[in-house]
Every structure is written in structure tokens, then in C-alpha cells.
Structure 1
Amino acid sequence: MSNCDVTLEPGFTIAPVPPRMFGALVEHMGRCVYGGVYEPGHPKADAAGLRQDVLQLAREMGVTMARYPGGNFVSSLDWEDTVGPVAERPARLELAWREIEPNTFGLNEFMSWTQLAEAEPMMVVNFGTRGIADACNLLEYTNFPGGTKYSDLRISHGVRDPYGIKMWCIGNEQDGPWQIGQKSAVEYGLAAAETAKAMKRIDPTIEVVSCASSWRFLPTMNSWQATVLEHAYEYVDYVSLHGYFEPIEGDRAGYLASGLVIEELIDAAVATSDYVGAKLRSKRKLQVAFDEWNVWYESRFSIDDRYADQNLTWEFAPRLIEDTYTAEDAVAVAGMLMSLLKHSDRVTVACLSELVNVIAPIRAEPGSEAWRQSTFYPFALMARYARGHVLRIEPRVEKLHSATYGDVPAVDVLATLDAESGAVAVFALNRHSEPMTLQVAMRALPEMSVVGHVVMGGTRLDATNTEASPEQVVPEPSTEHEITDRKLLAQLPPTSWTMLRLDPAAALRD
């Protein structure tokens, strides 16, 4: 059995764990909203139609931010249709996914949901069919106290106090040929700069996210971002990244190395931003909002032309990309989130895409209880236990060959330290088809005891959670660990994700 060796040094840190790292996308796509977070008449719905079982799972999952209303959906949305008396709201053709949008769940319903979910809202403005004026009007509606057209409109809708939304995205994937209102880099950069400038005149406290290169296979990847920032660098605060991954036939090591691709995307986005900043002699450093990421079995999304989407018919809340996730997918998702956390010095916002039903960790059906998919668990466990600072560590481990990515580390490790409590969390991804031994040197830390050890994967990698059997894939407790002379040894099953929690107070009690 091979080893993976790491050393924990409390003085070597990357950054604090960002509270906004554990966000999720709530998009008007398929059954994410209708039949997901909102389903009037469902046995678990409250008087407002919000499903309490979904809400409870979102809280359990630890979602700290909710990005809304899209996604591609936003690029043809008239936000004014989503507010006011529900009976007076028009139904519209939604162009991104060719759906009928009734607008019965809108901006104020979403804000009520975020308050109940204890999640910060992240608002995306339509930059496809609309622009500066509409973004400013929406901001006035949500954030201005009163005495003006749109703030008074909000008050007339029963919301006296402004929402004070801080995070604003100027459009979504505007470089993509699939996007309604696709823009060139110069076109978007100039417009984004003027929009951010105008919005910050209304509310100087907001933080603005610029679109960056949205799909790693586009020929304009990174160069589009560089051109945008030539115009918008001084007015925006974040650049947005998106990344979706699926199993690679015959290359499990490559699939489980998806997190390494995320790290490459982050490194390129940071390098591009910093280059433009240096070129402009700016004193500012932009952060990264990795506000869409997940496993998506995109090859199953059968359409003849991905840009025309002619196979999508005009329906209300159709079943779109409701992927069922396996234990192996949970291991892959865990690795992706670990990679995001390892870059928490620059990635301070991230959103799993999406929250419910649509490539989601939570599934919901009419008339029954919502359930957790396999991918729910690693997200929830890291949201709960990754606390304090991310430690800077360098695992020493053998390489595996991936047909897609070349040689990749057999094991990836992330550790966090909460200085206040002294608690340490260690997360390990074993890409190898064989078991590995994790050896963690902790001489710079006080005496520790293991207070939690769970594993996902290892066996039955194709197992899934379903409505009929919702607990086939759950974190399994393990006792395969020991601490001797301030060195932790833990067994990592093949193709698995492991979480170990250590506590100095427990060691004192022992």
C-alpha cells in the first residue's frame, strides 16, 4: 500500500475559508424553481408555496449564497414582470430553454426564500436583451430606501425596507454563442464598465461581477476576459468562471482530476486579471467568482444543435437535465470543492449549479418528500466543517496516468484550521483504484484526537439515491485511523473521499 504524506503547519495558510464559497444557483430552468423551491399545493409547501422540505435541505446543506435568476434564463428576462400582484404578472416565452415562464415566482418571492434559507442573494441582471438603464432600475427597486419611482414601486408591493443586495452580476456567459445577446469582448467590456459605474452611483457598497471566458473549449478563452478588463477593470470587483464536468469513458483518474482543471481555470483567470491590472497600473486586485460548477452529464442532453436548442419545446417547468448522481460523482464533486477552497485567496465566491432537480444535489417530486443526492453530502460536510483558515500543504504522493490529462497525483489533500477552537479538518481524495495510506505530520499542533471520520465511495461506485431508496449513498463512518507521536495515519479506500475531524479538546479529555 502506497503512502500520501502531508505536514500541517498552522503558520502556513492560504486564506480564511470564504463564507460565500458555499453558494448555489437557483435558476428558472426546468424544475429548479417550479416543482423545486416553489410548489403551491404540495403537502410540504407553506402558505406562500415554498417547499419546506427543500428549504430544510438547503439549510442542512449549508448554502450561504443563492445566485438568481440565472443562468442563461436571465438574458431575456424583463424583471418588471416578476414583481407586483401575481394575478397581474404576464406569462412570457423564455428564450434560453424554450419554456413558458408564468412569473408566479419572482424577485420578492425569491428574496423571501433567501431570508428563510439564511442565504445571501446574488443577483444577475439581463445583459442580453437589456442594458444599463434596466440594471439601474432593478438596483433602485431592491436597494434604494424610497421616494423614487422604483423604490416606491417596491414599497407598493408590500416591501417597505430595501433589500440591500450586495452582489450583482452583469449578465451571464455573454461570450457564448448559445447566449441570447452574445457580445464581443469590446462590446461587453465597454457596456459592463458603464453599467458598473452607473450602478455604483446608486449604491456605492455593491460588489460587481463581470463575465469572463465562460467555456474552456471556446477559442476566445482568456483572451475575451483580457479584452473585457481593458475597459472594465477599474469598475468591477470579480470575474466570473464556470466549469462543468462529466465522467470520461475509460479514464476514471481523469474524471476525478476535474478539480485540477478547475485550478488551471482559476490560475489562468487570475493571471489574466493581474496582467491587465499591472498594465493599467491599478492598485486593485480582482477576485474570482466561480459561480457555476458541477458534474453535468452534458452528453446526455440530446439536442441536434446546442445553439438553436430546437429539440426543446415550449413547456412549463419541463424535466431538463435531472441527472442522477452516483457515489463516484460524489467523489468528483468533493474534489472540485477542495480545489476551489485551495484557491480561497482569490476565489471568494462559488456557486454549485444548480440547487434543486436540475443537475442538483437535492431532488424533489410532486406529492413526496425531497431527498439528498450523493453529491449533497461532500458539499454539506465541507460547508459545515471547513472552518478558519485553509492551510498551505504540499502532498507527497505518487502519480497516476490519465489518458486525458497526463500524470495526476494519486491523492489530493485539503486541510483547514480553526484557530479559535483549535479544530482541524482534513479532506482527502483518493483517485487510485487501490487503497492508500494518508500520513499527516502534526508536530506543530497540540495533541489531537479524531472526533469524526467518514468516507464516501470505495465500493459500489455506481450506487445512487432515488425517491424509493434515498439513503443508498451516504457518508460511512470509519475507524481506520490512529495517531502516534503526533502523526495521523488513516486508510483511504480506493476511489474515495474521506473527511477526518480532529480536536485538541478531545485529546485533553482522553
Structure 2
Amino acid sequence: MTRARITIDRDFTIADVPRRLFGSFVEHMGRCVYTGIFEPGHPQADERGFRRDVLQLVKELGPTVVRYPGGNFVSGYLWEDGVGPVDQRPRRLDGAWHTIETNAFGLHEFVEWAGEAGVEVMEAVNLGTRGVEEARALVEYANHPGGTYWSDLRRRNGAADPFDIRLWCLGNELDGPWQIGHKTAHEYGRLAQETAKAMRLVDPTIELVAVGSSNRQMPTFGTWEHTVLTHAYEEVDYISMHAYYQERDGDAASFLAEGVDMDAFIDGVIATIDAVKAAGKHRKQVDISFDEWNVWDQDRYNDHEAREIEAAGWREHPRLIEDTYDVADAVVVGTLLHSLLRHGDRVRIANQAQLVNVIAPIRSEEGGPAWRQSIFWPFARMARLAQGRILRLAVDSSQTSTRKFGDVDAIDAAATWDEASGTIALFVANRSLEEAGDVTVDLRGLAATAIRSAEVLTVPEGGDRRSANVADDQDRVGLVPLRDAGIADGAVRATLPPMSWAVIVLDAATA
């Protein structure tokens, strides 16, 4: 059995929980929009074509902010195509995903959908094929009250009030050769700087995210962030991070430890930001928007699916990277959320990619049902329960061996303390494939009075780590009561099954 002692001290905290940390992502890609959140004619669709069954699951999942409309898609997108009468909108070829974009769903529809879902809009501008003027015009269209060309066009298109979009992405993954409009760091840094200045001349209250490296393995990682911020530090509020993880060559132990990589990635970007800040003698603080992250089998996409899409020719919203998530995926997603929460003093925004169908916690079928994937559960619980202050934990854990990272903690954890409700939310994962985890939690400055709830996600009875939820068996994997959890001699004790993720909510009083 693996063992871990977690020490929680009321006075050792990191930051208030940033609510934007629990964000999601809707891109015009595959079936995320069409037959995902929007399917006119579906039995569950409302008069606007929004799928009510999907909306209900989105509200249960609890994202706070949703990035839109891309992603790679945005680097070739003309935002004007998605406004005005739907029957007059042009059909376009989308080179990013080799599909036909009908533009039946655009900015107005997304803003209305976001209001219905109760999420903040995070809008991305095209800095691949377009630039300063188009971005400036979009801010005027979205946020200016009226009396100008673009704001009056919005009003004529049915939105008398401004959309008041606060959060904007200055392009997407422009360090990547696959990106439409790929740029060097100097080219992008100057463009981001000038675009940011022009956008803020229209609306000085907006917040701006500069493009960071597409992943930690990029050959320009580190130098890209340094160069971009050297140009644009004073003009932006955040720099982006993107990361996707997958199991390779059957190495499940390393896969379960990928949170170690996310920790190192974040720490590296923080170091680069702060180096630019110091060298430039800047007073303001630039933080991180981790606006794409998830588990994704990229090998399957690159080796097979991308070729199949191109071979099939230009189609409307074909199936694309609709990964089916299993127990192991859910445990990894839980640990990635732990990493983000532990860095909540600098990672102020994060967006799991994507929301529906495309590498998503929610799946739907055209004309059919919608359901929760295994990765739905860690996100939903953390989005709801992570409140108040992020606690700085001291974790003394048994080690588990991995091929990629060497020895790592078998038990991984994050926690929050909400003084208003008197609750501690402890999120904990057992990375061991075979051994149960005996966890003891010592409290200092706080006293646990009761366990309000304790749930665990692990291999279901009769299943294995590949068990997953599918259309005809939608509840195979989920949260179940964690029976072996209690309070004794002032400490909280719990036993976690092998390869599991759990959440324990404690009623606590200051001691």
C-alpha cells in the first residue's frame, strides 16, 4: 500500500481561487458547434437551435468562461461572415480542419448561447490572415454602445446593447508551422503589440492574452515567450499556454504522472515572464492563460484521422477527434486540474479543450442523446467545490516509478479553504496502478468537525482502466461514495483505490 501524509495549515495559502480557472473552449471544429451545442431540429433544441440537453450538462459541468471561435480555426476566420441574416451568410472553406463552414452559427449566436449557459465570453481575433484593423473593428462591433459604423451594424443585426466582451485572445498558436499565418516571434510580437494598442483605443477596459508556445516541446519554447513579451509586455495582461497529454506505448505509469510535466511547464513560463519583467523594469504583472489543455490521443489524429478527413473531401462538421475517455484519462485530468489550482496565483485563466464532442467532457449524437464522459467528473466537482483560498499543501508521499519522470509522488493533491462556508475541499489522486493509497491529513489552525461528502472515481466493478461511458452505457464510470474515509484523533484518514481520483469535503472550524 502506498502512503501519504498531507499537512494543511490555515495560514499557508497561495491565492484566492480564480474563477476563470474553470474555463472551457468552443471551436468551429468537428461537431463541437454543429450537432454539439447547436442543432436546429433536434428534439431537445429550443427555438434558437440550442440543444437544451447539452446546455443542462454544461451548467452541471460548471465552466465559468468559454474561449471562442478557435483555435486553429480563428487564424483563417472572417468574423463578419458570422453576423447578419443567416440566409445571407457565406459558406467558406476552412483550411484549418479541411471542412466547409456554413456560418449558420456566429458571434451573435454564441453570445446568446453563453448568456443562456451562464459563462463569460473569451473572444479570439484572427492574427493569422488578418491584423490590426479587423481586430479593432471587432471590438467596436462587440463593445461600443452605438453611433459608429460597426456598433450601428451590430444594432441593425439585432443586438441593441453591447456584448461587453472583456477577455480577448490575440490570435492562436502562431508559433506553429501548421498554423495559417505562421509567424516568427518577432513578427508576432510586433503585431500583437500594435493590435493590442488599437483594440484598447476602442475599449481601454478589455483584457488581452498574447500567444505563447503551442506546447513545451516546440523548438522555440522559452525564446518565443521572451521575444513576444519583450515587444508586448506593457500591452498585454496574459500569455497563453497549451498542452495535451496522452498515454504512449502502453506506459500507463508515466501517463498518470503527466501532471509533473504541467507543473514544470508552468514554472518555466512564470520564470520567463518574470525575467522579461525584471529586464524591462516593468511594474505590472503579466500572468498566464492556460487556454488549451486536456488529454488527447494526438498520435491517432496525426497518423490516421487527419488523412481520412482530407481524403473524404470538403464536408460540413465531420466527426473529428471524438476521443472516448476512460478511467485513467479521468484520473490524469484530475491531476492536471490540481496543477492548475496549485498555480492559481499566476495561472488566472484556464480552458479545457473542448466542451462538446471534440476531445470533450460532454458527448452528443446528432438527433440522439447527450452524456457525460469520465473526465466530466473531476472538472465538475472542482469547478463547484474549489472556493475561497488555495491552500499550500505539504505532501509526504510514497513514490511510484515511471519511465518518463523517474520516481514521483504516488499521491497528488490540491485543496481550498472557504472561510465563509467553513469547508475544506481536498482533491486527491492515487497514481499507483496496483496499490491502494492510505492518506492521512493533518490540520493546523483548523479542526475538522465532520466529513460533509467523500466521493471517488475509480475502476468500476467488473471493469478495468479502459472502462468508459458510451451512448448505450452512459453511467459506467462516475463518482461513487468513498466509504473508507473518516476523522480520528483530529486527523482525516482515507484509503483510495489504485488509480483513482477523489474529493473530500470537510466541515472545519478555526482552531
- The answer to whether TM tops 0.5 is yes
Identity of aligned residues (%): 49
Q: Distance in 2 between matches of 1:302 and 1:133?
A: 35
Alpha-carbon distance, 1:300 to partner: 1.1
The answer to whether the Cα contact below 8 Å between 1:398 and 1:409 also exists between their aligned partners in 2 is yes
Counterpart in 2 of 1:442? 443
- Offset, 1:145: 0.5
- Match of residue 477, structure 2, among 473, 478, 487: 473
Alignment check: 8 A CA contact 2:335 2:413 kept: no
Shift in Å, 1:478: 1.8
Q: More deviation in 105-114 or 392-401? A: 392-401
| Closer/same/farther in 2, CA of residues 152 and 294 from structure 1, 3 Å limit | same
Rounded to whole Å, the distance in 2 between the matches of 1:16 and 1:474 is 29
Specify the alignment match of 1:499 in structure 2: 503
Please name the residue that 1:174 is paired with.
Answer: 174
1:43 and 2:43 aligned: yes
Superposition deviation, residue 504 in structure 1? 3.5
Q: Secondary structure at the match of 2:196?
A: helix
SS in structure 2 of the partner of residue 234 of structure 1 = helix
1:4 is paired with a residue whose SS is strand
Cα separation, 1, equivalents of 2:307 and 2:21: 31
2:160: which partner in 1? 160
In the alignment, the residues of structure 1 paired with residue 61 and residue 386 of structure 2 have an alpha-carbon distance, to the nearest angstrom, of 13
Distance across 1 between alignment mates of 2:129 and 2:444: 59
SS at match of 1:408: strand
Compute the displacement of 1:308 (Å).
Answer: 12
Distance 1:48 1:306, change over 3 A: closer
Segment of structure 1 superposing worse, 292-301 or 477-486:
477-486
Deviation at 1:30, TM superposition (A): 0.3
Find the residue that maps to 1:174 and give its secondary structure: coil
Instruction: Show the counterpart of 2:52.
Output: 52
Structure 2 vs 1, CA of residues 307 and 250 (structure 1 numbering), >3 Å: closer, same or farther?
A: closer
Q: Deviations over 1:73-130 (max 9, x none)?
A: 0000000010000011000001100110000000000000000000000000001100
Does the Cα contact within 8 Å between 2:127 and 2:170 map onto a contact in 1?
yes
Tell whether the 8 Å contact from 1:17 to 1:390 is kept in structure 2 after alignment.
Answer: yes
| 1:275-290 paired onto structure 2 within 5 Å | 275-290=275-290
Where does the alignment leave 5 or more consecutive residues of structure 2 unmatched? none
Within 2, Cα distance between the matches of 1:287 and 1:244?
A: 20
Count of aligned pairs: 506
Task: Indicate the SS of the match to 1:429.
Answer: strand
AA matched with 2:218 = L
Aligned to 1:488: 492
Counterparts of 1:147 and 1:98 in 2: how far apart (Å)?
Answer: 39
Q: Is the 8 A contact 2:8 2:394 kept in 1?
A: no
Secondary structure of the residue that 1:244 maps to in structure 2?
strand
In structure 1, distance between residues paired with 2:466 and 2:42: 31
Q: How far apart are 1:309 and its partner, in Å?
A: 7.9
Q: Measured at CA, do residues 329 and 116 of structure 1 come closer, stay the same or move farther in structure 2, by a change above 3 Å? A: same
The answer (yes or no) to whether the contact 1:170–1:209 under 8 Å persists in 2 is: yes
Corresponding position of 1:297: 297
Q: What's 1:134 paired with?
A: 134
Matched letter for residue 491 of structure 1: T
Could you tell me which runs of 5 or more consecutive residues in structure 1 were left unpaired when the two chains were aligned: none
State the Cα distance separating 1:394 from its structure 2 match. 1.7
Query: Please, what TM-score do these two structures have when normalized by structure 1?
Result: 0.97
Shift of 1:373: 0.5
For 2:71, the aligned partner's letter is G
In 1: Cα distance, 2:307 partner to 2:234 partner: 33
Q: Match of 2:8?
A: 8
What is the match of residue 323 of structure 1?
Answer: 323
- Please report how far the alpha carbon of residue 235 of structure 1 lies from its aligned counterpart in structure 2 after TM superposition: 0.4
State the secondary structure of the residue aligned to 1:182: coil
Please name the residue that 1:384 is paired with. Answer: 384
Aligned to 2:455: 454
* Cα deviation code 1:33-56 (max 9, x no counterpart): 001000000000000100011111
Paired with 1:110 and 1:458, the residues of 2 have a C-alpha distance of: 37
SS in structure 2 of the partner of residue 233 of structure 1: helix
1:233-288 CA distance string (max 9 Å, x none) = 11000000000011133422211111121111111111111101100000111110
Partner of 1:102: 102
Quote the Cα distance in structure 1 between the aligned partners of 2:13 and 2:38: 41
User: What SS does structure 2 have at the residue aligned with 1:198?
Assistant: helix
CA distance in 1, matches of 2:307, 2:368: 35
Task: Please give the root-mean-square deviation of Cα atoms over the aligned residues, in Å.
Answer: 1.6
3-state SS of paired residue (2:219): coil
Distance 1:116 1:89 in 2: 24
- Judge conservation of contact 1:417–1:425 (CA < 8 Å) in 2: yes
Alignment of 1:24-423 (within 5 A): 24-303=24-303, 310-311=310-311, 313-423=313-423
- Decide whether the 8 Å contact of 2:75 with 2:128 is kept in 1: yes
C-alpha distance in 2 between matches for 1:275 and 1:158: 47
Taking the aligned partners of 1:410 and 1:341, their CA distance within structure 2 comes to 19
Aligned structure 1 segments of 4 or more residues deviating by more than 4 angstroms: 302-312
Q: What is the letter of the counterpart of residue 273 of structure 1?
A: I
Cα 1:10–1:483 change in 2 (3 A) is: same
The AA in structure 1 aligned to 2:470 is T
Give the equivalent residue in structure 1 for 2:425: 425
Contact kept in structure 2, 1:303 and 1:311, CA below 8 Å: no
**Residues 475-500 of structure 1, C-alpha deviations (whole Å, 9 max, x = no match):** 01122012112100100111111110
Measure, in 2, the Cα distance between the counterparts of 1:415 and 1:364: 32
- The one-letter code matched in structure 2 to 1:462 is R
- Give SS of 2:66's match: strand
Measure the CA separation in 1 of the matches of 2:243 and 2:279. 28
- Equivalent pair of 2:459/2:467 in contact (CA under 8 Å): no
**Equivalent position amino acid for 2:495 in 1:** Q
Whether the 8 Å contact between 1:251 and 1:403 is mirrored in structure 2 is yes
